[in-house]
Amino acid sequence: MIKIKLTVIGKLHNEFAKKWVEHYKKLLGKHCELEVKFVKEEKLNEGKNEVEVLRRESERIIEAVKTGDFLVILDSKGRRFRSKDFAKFIENYYTRSDVTLHFVVGGAIGVSEQILKFADMKLSLSDMTFAHQLTTVIFLEQLFRAISIVQGLPYHK
- Report the mean per-residue pLDDT for the chain: 92
| Paired sense of beta strands 33-39 and 69-80, if any | unpaired
What DSSP line would sit under 57-91, residue for residue?
HHHHHHHH--TTEEEEEEEEEEEE--HHHHHHHHH
Write the DSSP assignment of 112-142 as a string of letters: -HHHHHH-SEEEES-SS---HHHHHHHHHHH
Share of the chain above pLDDT 90, in %: 73
Residue numbers of the domain that contains 135: 3-151
Q: Give the number of domains in the chain.
A: 1
Distance CA 149, CA 16 (A): 26
- State the number of CA atoms in the 13 A half-sphere of 95 facing the CB: 2
pLDDT grade, residue 109 (50/70/90)?
confident
Average pLDDT value for residue range 143-156: 92
Q: Does the pLDDT at position 3 exceed 90?
A: yes
What is the per-residue pLDDT for 157?
66
For position 115, which CATH number holds? 3.40.1280.10
In a domain, 157, yes or no: no
In a domain, residue 26? The reply is yes
pLDDT higher than threshold 80 for residue 48: no
Amino acid at 144: F
pLDDT tens digit string along 22-37? 999 999 999 999 999 9
User: Does a structural domain hold residue 156?
Assistant: no
Digit-coded pLDDT (tens) for 12-24: 999 999 999 999 9
